[in-house]
Amino acid sequence: MNSNNVTIYDVAREAGVSMATVSRVVNGNPNVKPTTRKKVQDAIDRLGYRPNAVARGLASKKTTTVGVIVPDISNIFFADLARGIEDVATMYKYNIILGNSDSSRDKEVHLLNTLLGKQVDGIIFMGGRLHEDLVEEFKKSPVPIVLAATLNQGYDLPAVNIDYEQAAYDATQMLINHGHDRVGFITGPLEQQINGEKKFAGYRRALEDAGLPFHDNDMILGNYTYASGLEAMQKMLQRDDCPKAIFAGTDEMALGVIHAIQDAGYSVPNDFEVVGHDNTRLATMIRPKLTTVVQPMYDIGAVAMRLLTKILNAEEIEEKNVVLPHRIERRDSLRQD
Amino acid sequence: MNSNNVTIYDVAREAGVSMATVSRVVNGNPNVKPTTRKKVQDAIDRLGYRPNAVARGLASKKTTTVGVIVPDISNIFFADLARGIEDVATMYKYNIILGNSDSSRDKEVHLLNTLLGKQVDGIIFMGGRLHEDLVEEFKKSPVPIVLAATLNQGYDLPAVNIDYEQAAYDATQMLINHGHDRVGFITGPLEQQINGEKKFAGYRRALEDAGLPFHDNDMILGNYTYASGLEAMQKMLQRDDCPKAIFAGTDEMALGVIHAIQDAGYSVPNDFEVVGHDNTRLATMIRPKLTTVVQPMYDIGAVAMRLLTKILNAEEIEEKNVVLPHRIERRDSLRQD
DNA sequence: TTTCCAAATGGAAACGTTTTATATCGCATG
DNA sequence: CATGCGATATAAAACGTTTCCATTTGGAAA
């Protein structure tokens, strides 16, 4: 009873028509007489025919599959993004092949080539840093590539992001406005443009605009994890001139920061104020609840996928470099004004 | 310079051999003279040939792609599982097509059929409950299906799990051993076998073995989220006879429980003790750190995928119903013995 | 040398669709 | 009653591989 291996040809014979007609019916082509359509549809149902997408892909050169390259799907941030991508993909009848790169250049390149070999119709890429080898590969890609939550570098690809510089500025400024003359900045590696060029720049600009000096040791770099946030803050707490306001590059690091503060016997927000970044679900799973920059991960994924479908359908594109709005969600890790 | 549309035929011509020989070289078939192999390899490099996996799939009836059906990838639990699956898949040169079902029967069935249409070589399924319609579809599947963190029901599929009944027993017993004569149980919907039959059964058995009665209202059902755990505990706290020990069906719910307790001015573990389930990364991101049942999600995914590869390679399978060991990780939400 | 056999190579048929060019049908029109 | 034309349907050629079978090659044994 395997609905297996019944082909378009079997259906054609059963219905007494040609393959081409069956193909038209299956693909909703209007040039089929209703009675014929019915006849074919009945045959399809009777035989339990299911079109072979591989054969279809070979003949049509379209696989209705897109590749998604992500550093690590087990990271809540990328998981949200992926969900946004998948939802929109489903909406447009695409499936996604998902691959983890661990932000390794080799894995990224390898994955890209595997996906291209599988004839995906397009690719959505996420990664902290666009290595130039990878950009070379991108240039050779026969299918469109869209960046999600990933900054363009050297090669002008369609991309969906928020304004990280401004977001960092806003967060830092908010802390400064609360009367702090020093603001600690704990984030990920500076090699990643998003930290090194954007968030850092926003942070410095906010200090500057407030007439505050930048202290080298007010900035500590980690690797995005809870543990690295905790550790960074522990280190900072040992200083006599420890900043009483902290802007953390991700929510997970912010949780680490808050716990380090609490473990040392201080209170958030009374002794220290903390602002995070991303507004992952974690932000409300801590006491005090975290004030954080809202980066709409799901939306970034969804918009990126939508952008890709537009490119695939050769639709009009207003702007291939999409900047989604951000805002700061105020919660209890900041004192009331 | 698109390495596009250069076919095996072009390579054959360039190298002065037949397609068949090129195919052999590409597939590592040993029956090729080293000099010929070199000649072909050079032609491949020169032309930038990349085999078309779709054509390959059509000819060989293997796509080296497996389908993964998951309720929601943005859930940290499934994201971890998916990561385990993908890592092992990569190891065996498979790619995964990932789809979210939202635990909806219709989406599950639809997704399954889409995947089968795409000629995946196998499928890994995750879902709280196996609807009988879905089981019917599974029976008709021409490719093997493996369940991950999902209990078999009615149809004997290969599956990878832990012993949920025993895990719940252990957790409950641990709380009872701490002197509690009532243990609250906050978990997900009972329609899901994993709660309704396994965790619940383990909970009751532990009570029974300790000679304690089961109180209907000591159990509250939620939907796995932080918010539902919080809410459930708030409700429980309003009772005069509120249990001072809580076993939560997931870590996320446990976080909600702990915060509800703390919000009400009580201390964990001094006033209340809490045990969670799953040991997601959340468990260490809370104060006090959460004591929790370790369910090795990554491993379940990895083992499930490995099991699938074994089936695909027709390797010997010792046991198609794999039960991975569990244990309880003791942290600060439980008092020292 | 010849003979033989394994190793290496080639030819061509599958695989299951889509798509293009072509044929047929039915019917209004002149 | 022929003509022409749109609407439908068909036949057959792609699509780019793998794989089966046949053929060639080259060297060892006779």
Query: Could you report the per-residue pLDDT of B83-111, keeping only the tens digit for each?
Result: 999 999 999 999 999 999 999 999 999 99
Q: A4-13, B11-20, B269-278: which has the minimum mean pLDDT?
A: A4-13
pLDDT at B244: 96
Distance of CA A135 to the CA centre of its chain: 18
Which amino acid is located at A307 in the chain?
Answer: L
Q: Which of residues 27-46 of A touch strand C (CB under 7 A)?
A: 27
Distance CA A125, CA A139 (A): 14
At residue B291 the predicted structure's pLDDT band, cuts being 50, 70 and 90, is very high
Six token digits for residue A47: 């035989």
B289 HSE (CA, 13 A, CB side): 12
Name the nucleotide with the smallest C1'–CA separation from A15: D9
Instruction: Give A124's strand partners.
Output: A68, A146
Average pLDDT, rounded, for chain B: 95
Nearest CB to B98: which of A86, A140, A263? A86
Rounded to an integer, the average pLDDT of A290-312 is: 97
- Assess A87–B contact: CB distance below 8 Å, yes or no: yes
Is the bond leading into B288 cis (omega within 30 degrees of zero)?
yes
Cα–Cα separations (whole angstroms), residue A251 to A128, A130, A230, B325: 17, 23, 12, 32
Nearest CB to A117: which of B50, B98, B287? B50
Query: Quick check: A223 and A189 in contact, CB under 8 A?
Result: yes
Mutate to test the interface with A, among B98, B230, B280 (most CBs of A within 10 A): B98
- Assess B285–A contact: CB distance below 8 Å, yes or no: yes
At residue B4 the predicted structure's pLDDT band, cuts being 50, 70 and 90, is low
Q: Which residue of A has its CA nearest to B52?
A: A117
Rounded to an integer, the average pLDDT of B159-178 is: 97
User: Helices (DSSP H) in A178-250: which residue ranges?
Assistant: 193, 200-209, 226-237
- Assess B288–A contact: CB distance below 8 Å, yes or no: no
- Which residues of chain A from 146 to 205 reach within 8 Å of chain B, CB to CB? none
Query: Integer distance in angstroms from CA B58 to C1' C14?
Result: 10
- Assess A266–B contact: CB distance below 8 Å, yes or no: no
The string of DSSP letters for B168-221 reads HHHHHHHHHHTT-S--EEEES-TTSHIIIIIIHHHHHHHHHHTTPPPPGGGEEE
Q: Which residues are within 8 A (CB) of B141 and not within 5 positions of it... i.e. 6 or more apart?
A: B112, B116, B123
Compute chain A's Rg from CA coordinates: 26
Asked if the Cβ of residue A24 lies within 7 A of any atom of strand C, the reply is yes
Query: Integer distance in angstroms from CA B31 to C1' D29?
Result: 23
Q: Which residues are within 8 A (CB) of B26 and not within 5 positions of it... i.e. 6 or more apart?
A: B8, B44, B51
Distance CA A288, CA B226 (A): 15
Strand D: residues with CB below 7 A: A 16-21, 24, 30-33, 35-36, 55, 58-59, 61; B 5, 7-9, 19-20, 23-24, 26-27, 49-52, 55-56, 58-60
pLDDT tens for each residue of A66-91: 999 999 999 999 999 999 999 999 99
At residue B3 the predicted structure's pLDDT band, cuts being 50, 70 and 90, is very low
Nearest CB to B142: which of A4, A95, A286? A4
Distance CA A257, CA A234 (A): 8
pLDDT tens for each residue of A102-125: 999 999 999 999 999 999 999 999
Is B113 within 8 Å of A75 when comparing Cβ atoms?
A: no
Distance CA A206, CA A251 (A): 20
pLDDT tens for each residue of A170-181: 999 999 999 999
Rounded to an integer, the average pLDDT of B120-134 is: 94
Q: A27-41, A131-145, A213-227, B44-58: which has the minimum mean pLDDT?
A: A27-41
Residue A314, Cβ density class (10 Å: 0-12 exposed, 13-18 middle, ≥19 buried): exposed
- Assess A75–B contact: CB distance below 8 Å, yes or no: yes
Query: Integer distance in angstroms from CA B60 to C1' D20?
Result: 13
pLDDT at A3: 42
Tokens 């010792």 belong to B318
Q: What is the dihedral of CA A190, A192, A195, A196, to 10 degrees?
A: 50
Asked if the Cβ of residue B15 lies within 7 A of any atom of strand C, the reply is no
Is A83 within 8 Å of B73 when comparing Cβ atoms?
A: yes
Query: Quick check: B100 and A87 in contact, CB under 8 A?
Result: yes
Rounded to an integer, the average pLDDT of B250-278 is: 96
Distance of CA A149 to the CA centre of its chain: 5
Query: Quick check: A116 and B50 in contact, CB under 8 A?
Result: yes
Q: Which residues are within 8 A (CB) of A144 and not within 5 positions of it... i.e. 6 or more apart?
A: A122, A123, A158, A308, A311, A312
Strand D nucleotides in reach of protein CB atoms, 7 A cut-off = 7-21
Q: Which residue of B has its CA nearest to A49?
A: B117
Measure B283 CA to nearest chain A CA, in Å.
11
pLDDT tens for each residue of A50-65: 999 999 999 999 999 9
Q: How many CB pairs under 8 A join A and B?
A: 145
Q: Is B204 left (phi over 0), alpha (psi -120 to 50) or beta?
A: alpha
Nearest CB to B95: which of A83, A99, A226? A99
pLDDT at A218: 96
Residue from A73, A205, A321 nearest B100 by CA? A73
Six token digits for residue B171: 């957790």
Q: Is residue B146 classed as helix, strand or coil in its secondary structure?
A: strand
Q: A173-182, B117-126, B128-137, B173-182: which has the minimum mean pLDDT?
A: B128-137
At residue A4 the predicted structure's pLDDT band, cuts being 50, 70 and 90, is low
pLDDT at A2: 39
DSSP H or E stretch at residue A37: helix A34-47
